[in-house]
Amino acid sequence: MMLYTTATNGEKTFGLLPLNSDCPFNEAIYMPKLEALAILSKTTRDTFTMLERLDENGEVTFTNVKDKETGKMKHLAKQQRVQVATPWEYFINEKDEIREFIRMYAVNADSFDYAKFMTSLEVVEQPKIYTGQ
């Protein structure tokens, strides 16, 4: 995998992208607000989700439903439950474990400064003031 600069939610961060088809991961991205590395595996699992129902032309189908509170008609998209292949997601929260993952998989770990994106506001204990008591 290769480290690169990217952005998530308008905030600069780093990600990892696979360099060959043998890599077991689709991608990884460091989430600064969560202080975690999110990793998407190539291994998938089947999950169910609700998606908008489409007609034979691929257009969203709608239905009119009466609102119970206002009594007015609403124009809503029809939905259907669909089984979807979803990649496994992994989250690494410990900074030392994130660094180890990067050392194991990133070919440019030595030349890319990923640590600058891993800074967080740490609580600094205030110095105690001697009052003579």
User: Amino acid letter at 62?
Assistant: F
CB 48 within 8 A of CB 81: yes
Q: Per-residue pLDDT tens for 36-95?
A: 999 999 999 999 999 999 999 999 999 988 888 888 888 899 999 999 999 999 999 999
Mean pLDDT (whole number) for 20-33: 94
- In this predicted structure, the answer to whether residue 6 has a pLDDT above a threshold of 50 is yes
Rg of the chain (C-alpha set): 24
**Distance separating alpha carbons of residues 97 and 54, to the nearest angstrom:** 44
User: Amino acid letter at 13?
Assistant: T
Most distant CA pair in the chain: distance in Å?
84
Residue the block writes with tokens 């003031």:
129
Q: Among 15, 8, 35, 25, which residue's Cα sits nearest to residue 96?
A: 35
CB 16 within 8 A of CB 106: yes
